[in-house]
Amino acid sequence: MTWLSPLAADLIGFAGSFFIVVAYGYNNAAKRVDPVLFNGLNFLGAALLVLSLTVNYNLPIIILEVVWMAIALYGIVKAWRTPRTPA
């Protein structure tokens, strides 16, 4: 028995996909990309997809999303550690 209904899992998965697509669009549309925002959206999207995959289990996609989260987290930490220069 799972604690999350299939409908809720699907809605969470759609939200995760939405955030990843928004991050991709932002990366292509922005003149100057904020790496914390970009990677934060990617991390959030991947985390929501992993949550949805606890109901709609698919191991290869879970692994992909966990790697996606790790790369996004690396980007966030790197951005926080890099001194910002004025635009």
Assess contact for 87 and 41: CB atoms under 8 A. no
Query: Structural domain boundaries of the chain?
Result: 6-81
DSSP letter, residue 58: -
According to the model, what pLDDT value does residue 40 have?
98
According to the model, what pLDDT value does residue 37 have?
97
According to the model, what pLDDT value does residue 55 have?
95
Question: What confidence tens digit (pLDDT) does each residue in 10-66 have?
Answer: 999 999 999 999 999 999 999 999 999 999 999 999 999 999 999 999 999 999 999
Helices (H), the chain: 6-29, 35-53, 59-81
Taking CA atoms, 6 is separated from 19, 22, 50, in Å, by 20, 24, 14
Q: How far apart are CA 8 and CA 10, in angstroms?
A: 5
